[in-house]
């Protein structure tokens, strides 16, 4: 375990040192992944399938805010849809514009959920994104997750309806709209999937806030179980066509990936849990403090007691894991000092 924690700390140090460059590389790679995936969903040809254009746009997105990437992907999907016909382009533009406006208005900081949700559904891991955002965000994140789900079904409807649209004349508006919207409006699996994803975000958020030991790990398992339950219920009640075996395998894989991500982003040392009680003039406090797990001591600046007399901050070793011979942090004293400063 110590070796893994050391590896995690080294990754954090490298990222902290080269944050700007790493962000540029990651955003470029993410944009390339999304645009090449969109390119592969449609027949070759056109400016939106040009490799040079995709590379240039990806490089531009690398220096722009993260929220530009889903907007760029939406533009490429709309451009590809217009190649299938004006009606297909207009329908796709209306759907994606509404979703992007909702996303930018209410949850602009959840760009990764909007981007990764269609990709996760494509690889059979739909429960992964709502689990991760239930652990780190609030239930409001379900809006970006649901938007990404609708984008996936819209893209799937365009891909599956491409052959049928090619056999219809451009003047057969009703038939073409039926092909375009039939896969979205009449498919009850979309509604079940949206309800399942929203339920996973809410349940994971609620469980991880209960505060018991290993609440985050329990929330991951409960969230995956809730998703499988919703899918099975949909198959029974409204006769949806979800593959039960694939759903269970995807949920198990989502649990494993979520546990790995949770370890790297938030690994807690429950052996050193502190329960503190203190009071002030207005309230009586019950505090449960769980320190994060680190592989070695971290250097943190701590001000001396003579700070008022002009004392300078000193570097002090703060132990971050329970190791033989290392004293624990006195959380009660730290909280009382902070309250006294206030």
Residue ranges of the chain whose pLDDT lies below 50: 299-327
**Residue that finishes a domain, picked among 246, 265, 284:** 265
Residue 296 is predicted with a pLDDT of 54
Place of tokens 């949206």: 194
Q: Are residues 156 and 219 in the same domain?
A: yes
Domain that holds residue 27: 2-265
Q: Are residues 146 and 250 in the same domain?
A: yes
Q: Are residues 294 and 183 in the same domain?
A: no
Q: Are residues 142 and 110 in the same domain?
A: yes
Q: Are residues 331 and 224 in the same domain?
A: no
Residue 339 is predicted with a pLDDT of 55
How large is the C-alpha radius of gyration of the chain?
25
Q: Are residues 133 and 255 in the same domain?
A: yes
- What residue spans of the chain are helical by DSSP H? 2-17, 19-41, 51-61, 68-84, 86-106, 111-122, 128-136, 142-160, 162-166, 173-185, 188-208, 215-237, 244-265, 331-341
Residue partners of 28: CB distance under 8 A and separation at least 6: 58, 59, 61, 62
d(CA 297, CA 120): 37
Query: Could you tell me which of 275, 290, 287 has the C-alpha nearest to residue 213?
Result: 290
**Residue that finishes a domain, picked among 265, 280, 310:** 265
Residue 189 is predicted with a pLDDT of 84
Residue 300 is predicted with a pLDDT of 45
Residue 66 is predicted with a pLDDT of 92
Residue 322: phi and psi, rounded to 5, are -80, 105
**Residue that finishes a domain, picked among 244, 265, 286:** 265
Query: Could you tell me which of 218, 224, 216 has the C-alpha nearest to residue 250?
Result: 224
Residue 165 is predicted with a pLDDT of 72
Nearest-10 Cα torsion for 277, 331, 205, 95:
130
Round the average pLDDT of the chain to a whole number and report it.
82
Residue 312 is predicted with a pLDDT of 47
Q: Are residues 69 and 193 in the same domain?
A: yes
CA torsion through residues 132, 135, 137, 141, sign:
positive
Q: Are residues 23 and 64 in the same domain?
A: yes
Q: Are residues 135 and 187 in the same domain?
A: yes
Q: Are residues 303 and 259 in the same domain?
A: no
Q: Are residues 122 and 242 in the same domain?
A: yes
Q: Is the CB of residue 157 less than 8 Å from the CB of residue 95?
A: no
Q: Are residues 181 and 86 in the same domain?
A: yes
Residue 319 is predicted with a pLDDT of 45
Q: Is the CB of residue 83 less than 8 Å from the CB of residue 45?
A: yes
Q: What is the pTM of this model?
A: 0.79
The total domain count for the chain is 2
Residue 322 is predicted with a pLDDT of 42
């Amino acid at each position: 375990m110590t070796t893994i924690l050391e590896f995690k700390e080294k990754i954090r140090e490298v990222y902290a040192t080269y944050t700007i460059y790493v962000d540029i590389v990651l955003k470029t790679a993410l944009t390339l992944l999304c645009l090449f995936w969109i390119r592969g969903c449609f027949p070759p040809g056109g400016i939106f399938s040009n490799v040079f254009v995709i590379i240039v746009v990806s490089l531009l997105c690398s220096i722009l805010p993260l929220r530009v990437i889903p907007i760029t992907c939406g533009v490429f999907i709309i451009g590809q849809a217009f190649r299938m016909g004006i009606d297909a382009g207009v329908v796709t533009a209306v759907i994606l514009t509404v979703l992007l406006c909702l996303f930018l208005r209410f949850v602009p900081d959840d760009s990764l959920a909007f981007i990764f949700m269609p990709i996760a559904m494509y690889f059979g891991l739909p429960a992964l994104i709502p689990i991760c955002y239930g652990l780190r965000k609030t239930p409001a994140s379900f809006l970006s997750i649901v938007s990404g789900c609708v984008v996936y079904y819209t893209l799937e409807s365009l891909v599956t309806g491409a052959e049928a649209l090619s056999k219809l004349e451009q003047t057969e508006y009703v038939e073409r709209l039926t092909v375009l919207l039939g896969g979205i409006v009449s498919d009850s699996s979309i509604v079940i999937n949206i309800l399942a994803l929203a339920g996973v975000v809410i349940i994971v958020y609620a469980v991880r806030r209960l505060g018991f030991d290993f609440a985050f790990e329990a929330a991951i398992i409960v969230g995956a179980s809730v998703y499988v339950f919703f899918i099975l219920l949909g198959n029974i009640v409204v006769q949806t066509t979800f593959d039960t075996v694939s759903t269970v395998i995807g949920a198990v894989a989502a649990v494993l990936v979520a546990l790995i991500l949770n370890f790297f982003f938030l690994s807690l040392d429950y052996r050193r849990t502190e329960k503190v009680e203190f009071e002030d003039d207005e309230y009586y406090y019950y505090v449960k403090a769980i320190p994060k797990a680190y592989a070695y001591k971290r250097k943190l600046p701590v001000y001396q007691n003579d700070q008022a007399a002009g004392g300078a901050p000193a570097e002090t070793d703060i132990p971050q894991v329970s190791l033989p011979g290392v004293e624990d942090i006195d959380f009660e004293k730290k909280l009382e000092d902070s309250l006294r400063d206030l």
